[in-house]
Amino acid sequence: MKIGIDVGGTHTDAVVMRGLEILATHKALTTSDVKQGIVEALDTVMSIANLDSADITAVMIGTTHFTNAVIERKELSETAIIRACLPTGSGIPPMCDWPEDIANCLGNHVYMLKGGHRFDGSEIHGLDDREIGTVLDDLVSKGIESIAIASAFSPINNSHEHYIAALAKAKIPDANITVSHEIGRLGILERENAALLNASLGGLAQSVVSNMKAALVERKIKCPFYVSQNDGTLMSADFIARYPALTFASGPTNSLRGAAVLSKLDNAIVVDIGGTTSDVGVLANGFPRESNSFIDVGGIRTNFRMPDIMAIGLGGGSLVSADGKSVGPSSVGHRLVKEGQVFGGSQLTATDIIVAAGHQDIGDVNKVSGLSGSLVSKASAAMHRMIDDAIDKMRPSDEPVPVILVGGGSILITGKLNTASEVYCPEHAGVANAIGAAIAQVGGEVESVVSYNKVKRDKAIESATQAAREKAIKAGAQEQSLRVLDIEETPLSYMDDNAVRLRIKVIGDLKQVRQS
Amino acid sequence: MKEICAEDIKDLCAGAAFLATGGGGDPYVSQLIAERLLSRYGPAKLMPLDKVPDDFHVVSIGMVGAPTVTLEQLPTEDEAVKAFDAYQTLTGKKIDAVIPFEVGGGNSTVPLTVAAMRDVPCIDGDGMGRALPEAQMMTFPIYGVHPTPAVLRDAWGNQAILDCNDAETFERHVRAMAVTMGGMISSAEHGMTGAQARRAAIPKTISFATNLGKLLRDHDGIVDAIQGSIVELFKATDYGIVRRLYTGKVVDNERKIVGGYDVGTATIQSFDANVAAMTLLIKNEYLIAKVGEEVVATVPDLICIVEQETSRPLNAERMRYGQRVTVFGIGCTHHYQTDKALKVASPRAFGFDLDYVPLADLGRT
């Protein structure tokens, strides 16, 4: 039996699952004491499912804690960035495009050194031990123990990052070090940003993980526990203490993956309609389709693996115009239960329209009985059109697609969606996030630039796949279950030599999880 | 004299991304470095092309190489300005003003940073009025400016001076040097007199790109609302005609690398089922647009694409399924309408079996 827990900003959800069967669910407000919230969630679902702690084989936790820390600029450690790139790169130092408030939180400890590699893996410049030593002395004198290390083209050759990290560890034994090639892909600005955020979250990660561990110990749960990351795969608890930034998008990812399980569909569009916005994402082979563009986390440009989510301003609390022709993006949000007309308020909301149309019995239907039929049908048509437009932009081809509706606002969709081949509204959709966490898998990914003139294409793909498999196995995947999820080849413009950027991702089931 | 300051750079980069006709690479890196250098050294003086004195020695400065390399190998602060210095030392000629290769993409800002750092004017104009992939396609060689002596410099301080017989040879050699010198280099080239520059360069493109970018960025919404303003803006220039060619959804984008360039085809489908799909033929830039079998715009006229909902210019490498876009055809400046220019910049110069027909003479409205 597996337990999935989603610690969100508003709610903490939990589920107990046996295979893909849902045995118990729980939804409660998130408490300020993370440990206590998890303990309560565990107690509730274990009692519903009549479980003993020995029955549990794994606990999976999803959390938005680290995203919120960055957005709110809270609990971030002072962190230095050491970038090996000179003589290139001096024109754009690390953090030069950061918002001032978060740059100040981290302390603006920016260092550039000779080093790094070129696109063909040769050195831009050799490293200079004395130069590195001077930087480390400076960090010691400032008392900084949180360090991000980046070098040019480290996804192709990471030796300089490793070398600097080893010297830093020797000089500052307690240092919390993030090397950029372990956390980002090509694009040094975005990758070093990711490394910086990751390193600055190190202290918080230690404390969150120990709280999670303490909660399990308190309930005598001895099985391993995992944390879900951006792409729907898991990392072990010890990993999260080192890579907290990899959880940044786990919320929407878990929601998409949970929807896949609930609907038993691997390829579909998932529409998560909340109080103010709707998030539209794409399930491709059971996993969220990733975004191609740069992702802004708290005002900082990163290139994390993140689901491609389109948010539109439509939710249960969206305001409806007087003529009914437009709905949203303004919304009463969580004040719906006070300000919506069916709840005695004065604002005309999307929820009022659905009640007036007779599709839902929420609040007092008499309060909206005076709305004209034409207004109600116009507003309802507008909502369907908004969702249809969003699906149309996100769907992988212009064929109609299966659509899965989740979230409290999914009641807004009462009629036909032109873009949908079929519409699914699965049971338990409210705890899709926790389900997504419970069924998460383990992945391994490699990215490199290869010349197909020097290495044959099939050989290059084969060796990259092998490297990705080894990464996944190291992360806890069961070898037999591994499969290639994605092969991506990007031709490098202007580059001779038939050079491509090759990215391969494999995934598999978690080794420790056994079906009981 | 007008100035370009750090606060203008975002506008200039957005306008230059529009005029890049799908090429030019990601403008973010060039935006960042230009903002930093202009903040530190002060604004760049912008000299109107018609005010450049006859005896000025004008040199074109920019970056040559693979945009992908700059994702990791970020620019130095002084690489371009050192190419400027080396040009003066190695040729013995003092540079009185600089001018961009192209107004499309990152090369629009490099000469401005050099101008600010060395206190020389940057000419408000360029050698393409857009982006094009090869050196012989610039108006400078087309109108009689010899590309060399050219001084190339890499981030390590290695330099090369090229002396070539003609523009095509120069393009071959500079491309090979760029690969050898780490993938991305600075080049100071096409030295010319002020009199030559006035004849060979396309005027007012830097200030125009800045105004265009400001219009797009201030609006940041559905393109229909500013179409009239875009038309007005171009109408007042040598580009002249703007035609909205198509609006629809990207349904296919297939590209591969051929001979060191991105080559491919993109397909856009109208929301009106009765309208045939638009096909775009791409070699780094958008070169030819067809609706069904009918050609609606070709190089050297500009084919510019913006995202329908945001009016943001769309690079060819960023185009993907599902994006809603509007395609504009824009007339090239008169510099490209001569036989000599069309020989190097018409569809045939790119290997297509197709003659150039000016946008104004093509049927669609």
pLDDT in tens, B72-108: 899 998 999 999 999 999 999 999 999 999 998 889 9
Q: Are A180 and A304 in contact (CB under 8 A)?
A: no
B37 has a chain A CB within 8 A of its CB: yes
Considering the domain architecture, whether residues A43 and A106 belong to the same structural domain is answered as no
Chain B nearest C-alpha distance from A300 (Å)? 13
A97 has a chain B CB within 8 A of its CB: yes
Band of pLDDT at residue B365, cut at 50, 70 and 90? very low
Residue B290: which CATH number?
Answer: 2.40.390.10
Angle at which helix A159-171 crosses helix A129-142, to 10 degrees, equals: 50
A500 has a chain B CB within 8 A of its CB: yes
Residue A144: which CATH number?
Answer: 3.40.1360
Give the model confidence (pLDDT) of B284-293 as tens digits.
889 999 999 9
ipTM of the shown complex:
0.82
**Whole-angstrom Cα distance, residue A2 to residue A59?**
6
Give the model confidence (pLDDT) of A502-513 as tens digits.
888 888 888 754
Q: Would B316 be classed as within a structural domain?
A: yes
Nearest CB among A90, A125, A293 relative to B77 is that of: A90
Total structural domains in chain B?
A: 2
Q: Which of residues 120-139 of B touch A (CB under 8 A)?
A: none
A437-456 burial, b if ≥16 CB within 10 A, otherwise e?
bbbbbbbbbbbbbbbbeebe
B232 has a chain A CB within 8 A of its CB: no
Instruction: State the best of B28, B29, B33, B72 to mutate against chain A, taking most chain A CBs within 10 Å.
Output: B72
Contacts of B78 in chain A (CB under 8 A): 90
Q: Would A139 be classed as within a structural domain?
A: yes
Residues A393, B324: C-beta atoms closer than 8 Å: yes
Q: What percent of chain B has pLDDT over 90?
A: 73
Mean pLDDT computed over A203-213: 89
Q: Are B79 and B153 in contact (CB under 8 A)?
A: yes
- Residue B40 predicted with pLDDT over 60: yes
Q: Would B111 be classed as within a structural domain?
A: yes
**Whole-angstrom Cα distance, residue B75 to residue B62?**
12
Collapsing DSSP to helix, strand or coil, B96 comes out as coil
Nearest CB among B36, B157, B179 relative to A91 is that of: B36
B144 has a chain A CB within 8 A of its CB: no
Considering the domain architecture, whether residues A305 and A401 belong to the same structural domain is answered as yes
CB pairs under 8 A between A and B: 123
Considering the domain architecture, whether residues B228 and B179 belong to the same structural domain is answered as no
**Whole-angstrom Cα distance, residue B285 to residue B267?**
15
B257 has a chain A CB within 8 A of its CB: yes
Considering the domain architecture, whether residues B108 and B252 belong to the same structural domain is answered as no
Considering the domain architecture, whether residues B305 and B347 belong to the same structural domain is answered as yes
For residue B149, is the peptide bond before it cis, meaning its omega torsion is within 30 degrees of 0? Answer: yes
**Which pair of tokens denotes residue A61?**
């936790």
Q: Would B212 be classed as within a structural domain?
A: no
Chain B nearest C-alpha distance from A231 (Å)? 21
Contacts of B178 in chain A (CB under 8 A): 494
**Which pair of tokens denotes residue A351?**
């929820």
**Closest residue on chain B to A94 (Cα):** B74
Q: Which of the 8 DSSP states describes residue B185?
A: E
Considering the domain architecture, whether residues A14 and A105 belong to the same structural domain is answered as no
Q: Which of residues 60-79 of B touch A (CB under 8 A)?
A: 65-69, 71-79
Residues in a beta bridge with B6: none
Which of residues B203, B236, B271 is at a domain's end?
B203
**Closest residue on chain B to A119 (Cα):** B69
Which amino acid is located at B151 in the chain? V
Considering the domain architecture, whether residues B173 and B230 belong to the same structural domain is answered as no
Chain A nearest C-alpha distance from B10 (Å)? 13
Contacts of B32 in chain A (CB under 8 A): 92, 96-97
Give the highest mean pLDDT range of A122-126, A169-173, A363-367, B25-29: A169-173
Considering the domain architecture, whether residues B55 and B163 belong to the same structural domain is answered as yes
**Whole-angstrom Cα distance, residue B9 to residue B38?**
9
Among A240, A156, A152, smallest CA distance to A164 is for A152
Residues B255, A397: C-beta atoms closer than 8 Å: no
**Whole-angstrom Cα distance, residue B235 to residue A91?**
38
Residue A328 CB-density burial (10 A; 0-12 exposed, 13-18 middle, 19+ buried): buried
More reliable by pLDDT, A13 or A98: A98
Contacts of B69 in chain A (CB under 8 A): 118-119, 495
Q: What percent of chain A has pLDDT over 90?
A: 43
Q: Would A482 be classed as within a structural domain?
A: yes
**How many C-beta neighbours within 10 Å does residue A344 have?**
12
Considering the domain architecture, whether residues A101 and A226 belong to the same structural domain is answered as no
Nearest CB among B157, B251, B262 relative to A398 is that of: B251
DSSP secondary structure letters along A237-273: HHHHHH-GGGGTTHHHHHHHHHHHHHHT-SSEEEEEE
Residue A62: which CATH number?
Answer: 3.30.420.40
Contacts of B324 in chain A (CB under 8 A): 393
Residues B71, A187: C-beta atoms closer than 8 Å: yes
Contacts of A292 in chain B (CB under 8 A): 318, 320
Residues A91, B324: C-beta atoms closer than 8 Å: no
Q: What are phi and psi of B46, to 5 degrees?
A: -110, 115
Q: What does each C-alpha distance from A112 to A87, A105, A323, A481, B139 come to in angstroms?
A: 9, 20, 60, 43, 40
Contacts of A119 in chain B (CB under 8 A): 66, 68-69, 72-73, 183
Q: Which of residues 199-258 of A touch B (CB under 8 A)?
A: none
Instruction: Say what the pLDDT of residue B65 is.
Output: 81
Considering the domain architecture, whether residues A382 and A476 belong to the same structural domain is answered as no
Considering the domain architecture, whether residues A401 and A489 belong to the same structural domain is answered as no
Instruction: Say what the pLDDT of residue B98 is.
Output: 98
- Residue B256 predicted with pLDDT over 50: yes
Residues A491, B33: C-beta atoms closer than 8 Å: no
B162 has a chain A CB within 8 A of its CB: no
Q: Would A255 be classed as within a structural domain?
A: no
Q: Would A430 be classed as within a structural domain?
A: no
Q: Which of residues 315-334 of B touch A (CB under 8 A)?
A: 317-318, 320-324
Contacts of A493 in chain B (CB under 8 A): 25, 66-68, 257, 261-262, 284, 317
More reliable by pLDDT, A254 or B38: B38
A89 has a chain B CB within 8 A of its CB: yes
B258 has a chain A CB within 8 A of its CB: no
Which of residues B177, B203, B229 is at a domain's end?
B203
Give the model confidence (pLDDT) of A264-293 as tens digits.
998 999 998 877 888 899 898 787 877 656
Instruction: Say what the pLDDT of residue A9 is.
Output: 66
Considering the domain architecture, whether residues B115 and B235 belong to the same structural domain is answered as no
Considering the domain architecture, whether residues A131 and A269 belong to the same structural domain is answered as no
**Whole-angstrom Cα distance, residue B40 to residue B347?**
43
Considering the domain architecture, whether residues B122 and B259 belong to the same structural domain is answered as no
Q: Which of B47-61, B114-128, B210-224, B233-247 has the lowest mean pLDDT?
A: B210-224
Among B117, B100, B116, smallest CA distance to B45 is for B116
- Residue B321 predicted with pLDDT over 80: no
More reliable by pLDDT, A189 or A457: A189
Considering the domain architecture, whether residues A228 and A176 belong to the same structural domain is answered as no
Chain B nearest C-alpha distance from A496 (Å)? 5
Q: Would B364 be classed as within a structural domain?
A: no
Q: Are B288 and B296 in contact (CB under 8 A)?
A: no
- Residue B3 predicted with pLDDT over 50: yes
| Residue-averaged pLDDT of chain A | 87
Residues B74, A91: C-beta atoms closer than 8 Å: yes
Instruction: State the best of B71, B253, B268 to mutate against chain A, taking most chain A CBs within 10 Å.
Output: B71
Q: Would A254 be classed as within a structural domain?
A: no
Nearest CB among B74, B157, B321 relative to A89 is that of: B74
Instruction: Say what the pLDDT of residue A496 is.
Output: 59
**Closest residue on chain B to A114 (Cα):** B156
Contacts of A500 in chain B (CB under 8 A): 257
Q: Are A272 and A281 in contact (CB under 8 A)?
A: yes
Nearest CB among A393, A394, A495 relative to B260 is that of: A495
Considering the domain architecture, whether residues B83 and B48 belong to the same structural domain is answered as yes
Name the residue range of residue B20's domain: 2-203
Considering the domain architecture, whether residues B193 and B302 belong to the same structural domain is answered as no
Give the model confidence (pLDDT) of A368-405 as tens digits.
988 999 999 999 999 999 999 889 877 766 679 999 99
Q: Are β-strands B324-330 and B150-153 bridged in parallel, bridged antiparallel, or unpaired?
A: unpaired
**Which pair of tokens denotes residue B321?**
């399924």
Instruction: Say what the pLDDT of residue A294 is.
Output: 65
Q: What does each C-alpha distance from B271 to A389, A431, B251, B276 come to in angstroms?
A: 12, 37, 11, 10
Name the residue range of residue A104's domain: 77-200
Instruction: Say what the pLDDT of residue B71 is.
Output: 82
Q: Which of the 8 DSSP states describes residue A31?
A: P
Considering the domain architecture, whether residues A110 and A133 belong to the same structural domain is answered as yes
Residues ≥6 apart with Cβ < 8 Å to A349: A316, A317, A318, A319, A320, A331, A332, A336, A339, A340, A341
Contacts of B251 in chain A (CB under 8 A): 397-398
**Whole-angstrom Cα distance, residue B149 to residue B153?**
13
Considering the domain architecture, whether residues A163 and A311 belong to the same structural domain is answered as no
Considering the domain architecture, whether residues A235 and A268 belong to the same structural domain is answered as no
A453 has a chain B CB within 8 A of its CB: no
Give the model confidence (pLDDT) of A399-457 as tens digits.
799 999 988 788 899 999 999 999 998 988 888 889 989 988 888 888 888 888 888 88
Which of residues A389, A422, A455 is at a domain's end?
A422
Instruction: Say what the pLDDT of residue A495 is.
Output: 56
More reliable by pLDDT, A451 or B24: A451
Considering the domain architecture, whether residues A271 and A364 belong to the same structural domain is answered as yes
**Which pair of tokens denotes residue A160?**
């300089």
Q: Find how far residue A289's CA is from the centre of its chain.
A: 12
Residues in a beta bridge with B37: none
A296 has a chain B CB within 8 A of its CB: no
Band of pLDDT at residue A72, cut at 50, 70 and 90? confident
Residue A296: which CATH number?
Answer: 3.30.420
Considering the domain architecture, whether residues B143 and B264 belong to the same structural domain is answered as no
Q: Would A472 be classed as within a structural domain?
A: yes
B10 has a chain A CB within 8 A of its CB: no
Q: What percent of chain A has pLDDT over 70?
A: 95
Residues A118, B182: C-beta atoms closer than 8 Å: yes
Q: Which of A203-217, A323-337, B2-16, B342-356 has the lowest mean pLDDT?
A: A323-337
Residue B158: which CATH number?
Answer: 3.40.1610.10
Q: Would A223 be classed as within a structural domain?
A: yes
Total structural domains in chain A?
A: 4
Instruction: Say what the pLDDT of residue A23 is.
Output: 93
Instruction: Say what the pLDDT of residue A516 is.
Output: 38
Band of pLDDT at residue A500, cut at 50, 70 and 90? confident
Mean pLDDT computed over A172-177: 96
